[in-house]
């Protein structure tokens, strides 16, 4: 049991490392010249597609042993994408509207057209005896039309389908790993790919291949919808910003007015307090002078009492005594 867990952990680590290294290499290649698309001649592209096939197979419940594992994986992918696109179509027919209805409808239309493209190319490859999995065709076609992150997210959002078709230790059912992959895949929405998954002679000879045209029209429509939504959002944000600025300015004016009133009141109170302080100073000065005067008076009285006491105690100063001496 421990050996099996070690093998699972080792395979998981290898797949995630290959995913990151191949993705980084493609991004670096694209950043060198954004005008030059990535082609099938780029070796890291083949490594990336093989790694994504491995991630999709990792932990898959391959119960139908009559068909190859990768084909069974494609059945899961196509059925899940088709189910979600049909559910959205039902909502459209029932006039169920949400704020993102228009964009969601375009996304689901892209999914339906993408499935048509994959089926068309897969049938052609079988007729030409070319060995290429539908999963790889789907990955490459999604990269060419810059909707791989969208397609991947649709799969990740169907939690029930993932639970029914994958073991709990699968990368697609591990929250941290699935979030990591979904985040990195967004970078492909800005990278140009030119992969010859559909030979040009088929497009020239077979004019009945409508999905490609429909897909191109759909991409144009969704871009128009997104641009229109962004414009309306931008105008709305500008109005909100203006309203916020106006409210902030008025609020500042009110605060300034209030502060000025408070300052004026404080100044008046300060003036009153200063007047009271001055009055107290005058009162204290008057009391000090009065006290000084009283102290001087007391000192004078004390001196008089002392002088009188000295006179009474000195007999030479007694006139009665002098008279008695004269009589003798």
Would you give per-residue pLDDT tens digits along the chain (328 residues)? 578 889 999 999 999 999 999 999 999 999 888 788 898 888 999 999 999 999 999 999 988 788 899 999 999 999 998 887 765 444 544 444 454 566 667 767 777 777 887 887 777 777 777 778 889 989 988 888 888 888 898 899 899 999 999 999 999 999 889 888 988 999 998 898 887 764 333 333 444 444 444 445 545 554 555 555 556 666 767 777 888 888 889 888 888 989 999 999 999 999 999 999 999 889 898 888 888 988 898 888 888 888 888 877 765 555 555 555 555 4
pLDDT at 190: 87
Check: CB of residue 162 under 8 Å from CB of residue 173: yes
pLDDT at 230: 57
pLDDT at 123: 79
Q: Read off the pLDDT of residues 89-100 as tens digits, 9 standing for 90 and up.
A: 445 444 444 545
In CATH terms, 2-208 corresponds, of 2.60.40.1180, 3.30.1360.120, 3.40.50.300, 1.20.58.900, to 1.20.58.900
Give the Å distances, CA to CA, from 19 to 46, 104, 307.
11, 29, 119
H helices of the chain, in order, are 2-32, 43-57, 69-93, 101-127, 134-144, 148-157, 159-165, 175-185, 200-205, 210-313, 319-327
Burial of residue 141 (number of CB atoms within 10 Å: 0-12, 13-18, 19+):
buried
pLDDT at 218: 46
Q: Read off the pLDDT of residues 248-290 as tens digits, 9 standing for 90 and up.
A: 898 888 889 899 999 999 999 999 999 999 998 898 988 888 8
Distance of CA 317 to the CA centre of its chain: 112
Q: How many CA atoms lie within 13 A of 31 on its CB side?
A: 7
Look up the pTM and report it: 0.57
């Amino acid at each position: 049991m421990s050996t099996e867990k070690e093998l699972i952990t080792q395979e998981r680590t290898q797949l995630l490392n290959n995913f990151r290294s191949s993705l980084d290499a493609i991004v670096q290649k694209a950043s060198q010249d954004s005008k030059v698309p990535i082609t099938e001649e780029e070796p890291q592209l083949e490594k990336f597609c093989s790694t994504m096939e491995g991630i999709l197979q990792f932990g898959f419940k391959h119960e139908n042993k009559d068909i190859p594992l990768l084909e069974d994986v494609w059945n899961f992918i196509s059925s899940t994408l088709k189910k979600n696109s049909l559910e959205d179509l039902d909502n459209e027919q029932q006039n169920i509207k949400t704020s993102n209805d228009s964009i969601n409808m375009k996304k689901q239309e892209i999914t339906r057209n993408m499935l048509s493209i994959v089926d068309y190319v897969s049938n052609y490859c079988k007729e030409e005896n070319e060995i290429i999995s539908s999963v790889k065709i789907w990955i490459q076609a999604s990269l060419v039309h810059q909707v791989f992150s969208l397609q991947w997210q649709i799969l990740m959002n169907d939690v029930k389908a993932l639970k029914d078709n994958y073991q709990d230790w699968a990368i697609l059912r591990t929250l941290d790993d699935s979030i990591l992959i979904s985040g990195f895949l967004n970078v492909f929405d800005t990278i140009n790919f030119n992969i010859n998954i559909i030979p040009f002679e088929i497009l020239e000879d077979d004019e009945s291949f409508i999905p490609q045209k429909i897909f191109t029209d759909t991409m144009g429509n969704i871009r128009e919808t997104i641009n229109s939504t962004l414009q309306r959002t931008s105008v709305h944000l500008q109005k909100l910003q203006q309203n916020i600025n106006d409210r902030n300015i008025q609020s500042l004016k009110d605060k300034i007015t209030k502060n000025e009133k408070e300052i004026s009141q404080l100044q008046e109170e300060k003036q009153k307090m200063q007047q009271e302080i001055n009055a107290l100073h005058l009162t204290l000065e008057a009391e000090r002078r009065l006290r000084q005067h009283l102290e001087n008076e007391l000192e004078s009285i004390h001196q008089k009492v002392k002088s009188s006491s000295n006179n009474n105690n000195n007999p030479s100063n007694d006139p009665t005594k002098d008279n008695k001496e004269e009589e003798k």
